[in-house]
């Protein structure tokens, strides 16, 4: 399949340099926001599959990839959500869908509460549901940092192929090994702390946008009781569950993940339905 990547570029928005990849170039706009230690390059394979008839932008969140990083930056959820809103404004994007994974979903939640008039829909992919007074996020920061340090030394490749590592394809292993070193250590630490300090449930209870939740059946991040609470907070939400996939469901079950996203992006089909399970 030929790539539909017109270009990668930088834009100054919210006072920082933000890097993005653009796919497709015409049609409804989708902005993809990756997770805590993931870059735009690692989501390129998803954008390549979604870009037919769509204009896909994949962001490097501050402190990751080729976007600005460093000790002068604030890595809070508010700062990242402000980046997302300012990014769209800087490029003159008036209406868009947010497809956010993990941390990126939390960024999308906050941005959607702030700017509902700009958001066509919000698709949240396995967002951490930790927060004040809630159980801890099940993925600790220590193994993420160990991988980062290995990447900074140029030694992460073997760790990504170890017996305890996910069974990813060569393409995904190489891409993660290539880009992980670009993550700012403090960005990872502060974002992980934010999973426990920021109350996105308040945001969910005050959203005025069409929203969907995609849950990883083996992720351990979102439980049945979490789904029920989110539906109470946002009764109109569409919930889809991808059984057999872990937190990185876009890699664990790419075809299943893309089938769900395509369904949710289809015109006139984004509405509340019974919870669906994809196997």
Continuous segment of H or E residues that includes residue 20: strand 16-23
| Residues 243, 12: Cα–Cα separation, whole Å | 40
For 122-177, what is each residue's pLDDT tens digit?
999 999 999 999 999 999 999 999 999 999 999 988 888 877 777 888 999 999 99
| Residues 122, 116: Cα–Cα separation, whole Å | 10
pLDDT above 50 (res 268) = no
Reduced to 3 states, what is the DSSP secondary structure of residue 229?
helix
For 22-37, what is each residue's pLDDT tens digit?
999 899 999 999 999 9
Q: What is the mean pLDDT of the chain?
A: 93
pLDDT at 272: 44
Q: Which residues pair with 10 in a beta bridge?
A: 19
Both tokens of 279, joined, read 């196997």
Distances (CA, A) of 127 to 48, 112, 212: 23, 14, 11
The answer to whether 20 and 87 are in contact (CB under 8 A) is yes
- CA 219, 181, 71, 90 dihedral sign is negative
pLDDT at 159: 83
The alpha carbon of residue 252 and the mean position of all alpha carbons in its chain are separated, in whole angstroms, by: 15
| Residues 66, 153: Cα–Cα separation, whole Å | 19
The answer to whether 237 and 275 are in contact (CB under 8 A) is no
Residue 142: Cβ within 10 Å count: 9
Q: Which residues pair with 100 in a beta bridge?
A: 33, 124
Both tokens of 163, joined, read 């017996």
pLDDT above 80 (res 274) = no
For 78-126, what is each residue's pLDDT tens digit?
999 999 999 999 999 999 999 999 999 999 999 999 999 999 999 999 9
Q: Which residues pair with 121 in a beta bridge?
A: 97
User: Quick one: angle between helices 185-197 and 141-153, nearest 10?
Assistant: 170
Report which of residues 269 and 77 the model is more confident about. 77
pLDDT at 46: 97
Average pLDDT over residues 31-60: 97
For the chain, give me the number of helices (H) and strands (E)? 11, 9
CATH superfamily of 7-278: Alpha/Beta hydrolase fold, catalytic domain (3.40.50.1820)
pLDDT at 180: 97
- Report pTM: 0.94
pLDDT at 87: 98
Q: How many CA atoms lie within 13 A of 109 on its CB side?
A: 29
């Amino acid at each position: 399949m030929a790539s539909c990547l017109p270009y990668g570029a930088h834009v100054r928005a919210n006072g920082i340099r933000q890097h993005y990849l653009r796919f497709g170039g015409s049609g409804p706009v989708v902005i993809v926001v990756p997770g805590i230690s993931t870059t735009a390059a690692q989501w390129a394979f998803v954008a390549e599959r979604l870009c037919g008839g769509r204009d896909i932008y994949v962001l490097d969140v501050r402190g990751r990839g080729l976007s600005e990083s460093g000790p002068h930056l604030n890595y809070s959820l508010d700062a990242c959500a402000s980046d997302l809103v300012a990014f769209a404004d800087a490029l003159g994007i008036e209406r868009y869908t947010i497809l956010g994974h993990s941390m990126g979903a939390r960024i999308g939640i906050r941005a959607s509460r702030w700017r509902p008039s700009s958001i066509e829909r919000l698709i949240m992919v396995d967002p951490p549901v930790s927060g004040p007074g809630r159980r801890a996020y099940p993925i600790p920061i220590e193994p993420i940092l160990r991988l980062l340090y290995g990447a900074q030394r140029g030694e992460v490749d073997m760790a990504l192929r170890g017996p305890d590592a996910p069974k990813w394809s060569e393409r995904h292993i190489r891409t993660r090994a290539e880009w992980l070193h670009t993550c700012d250590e403090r960005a990872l630490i502060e974002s992980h702390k934010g999973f426990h300090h920021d109350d996105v449930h308040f945001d969910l209870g005050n959203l005025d946008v069409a929203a969907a939740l995609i849950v990883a059946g083996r992720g351990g991040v979102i439980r049945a009781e979490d789904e029920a609470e989110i539906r109470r907070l946002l009764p109109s939400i569409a919930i889809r569950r991808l059984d057999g996939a872990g937190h990185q469901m876009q890699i664990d079950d790419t075809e299943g993940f893309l089938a769900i996203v395509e369904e949710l992006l289809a015109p006139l089909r984004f509405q509340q339905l019974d919870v669906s399970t994809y196997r």
